[in-house]
Structure formats: structure tokens, C-alpha cells
Amino acid sequence: MAIEYRGEETLFVVEIEDAEGTKLIRPFNQTGGSVNIAADSIELATKDKTGSDYGDVTQELSLEGIITEGDPFVQEMKRKIRNKEFVKIYEVNTRTNEAEYGMYMISAFDRDFAHGEFATYSLTASLNGDVTKETLTEIPDGAPGGFGDNDSDNGVEG
């Protein structure tokens, strides 16, 4: 029996630098993400035959989430794009811990602060080079538990 995948079973993990060196982190409160692999085509048209062949192949990814206190991801991505640095991003299958990673150029890092809504981020990046497969021994923890970590009743009237 084939078991379908749910969106939450694929996570993105990034490598960041801190005072202790490099480490993998899981951006907190990821709400979505996608990977797009596209190929240009080279057209062949002669008196003998017509057809297509592969041209350049590109890979882009996008990642969205809610900006969360204590998450080093947002500050690190702002630093990376401002300093024109590549970031190592992993796409992780949480059923198997199998991952593919590559070095990505951040082409856009947007933050949205709409009134009455959670603040969000959106990252768009393009692969530079090849992807590498790896099985992670563990997946970094995500956002800490608790809604807002305050003592309110979270808007529930009783």
C-alpha cells in the first residue's frame, strides 16, 4: 500500500555560523516551501529531423514561515544576503531523515508585518552547483512549544 506524503513531512534545514562554529538549524514555524527544477530546451530543426535536447538545468527553492522570537534564521539570512554569501540548505524527508543539500544564492528574503497578522518571512534561493544526498542522524528542533509563551488565555473567552 502506498502512503501519501503530507506537506509537513518535508522540512528545510539550514547551516548557520555562530561563536561555536557551524551548525544545522531548523527555521522555526515553517508554513510552506517548494522546490522547482527546470530545464531549458535546445531546439533541433534540420532537413533530416526535428527535436529537443536539454539546455541549462536550474533549481530554485522557496521557504515561508512565521517570524518567531529566538529563531536565529531571520538574522542569519539577512546577514548572508547583505554580505553576498551562499547558504547551505537541506531539504529533509522526516520519515526517513534522508536529505539533499546544496549551496544556494538567496535571491530574495522578504518579511511582512501586516496589522492583525503574524509577521512572516519568505526566502527564495537558486542552487549554485550540485546537490548532495545525505542521511541526517537527527533533525534539529523547531520552535519551542507554547503559543506566544505568555500567561494569557490566548483570546479564549470562558
* pLDDT tens digits, one per residue of 12-69: 999 998 888 999 999 999 999 999 999 999 998 888 889 999 999 999 999 999 999 9
Classified by CATH at the fold level, domain 7-135 comes out as: Pnp Oxidase; Chain A (2.30.110)
The model carries a pTM of 0.85
* pLDDT tens digits, one per residue of 123-147: 999 999 999 999 999 999 988 886 5
In the three-class reduction of DSSP (H, G, I as helix; E, B as strand; rest coil), residue 51 is classed as strand
- Secondary structure element (H or E) that encloses residue 75, with its range: helix 73-82
* pLDDT tens digits, one per residue of 81-116: 999 999 999 999 999 999 999 999 999 999 999 999
Query: Please, how many CA atoms are within 13 Å of residue 3, restricted to the half-sphere of its CB?
Result: 3
Percentage of residues in the chain with pLDDT exceeding 90?
A: 79
Q: Where are the beta strands (DSSP E) in 82-153?
A: 87-93, 98-112, 120-135
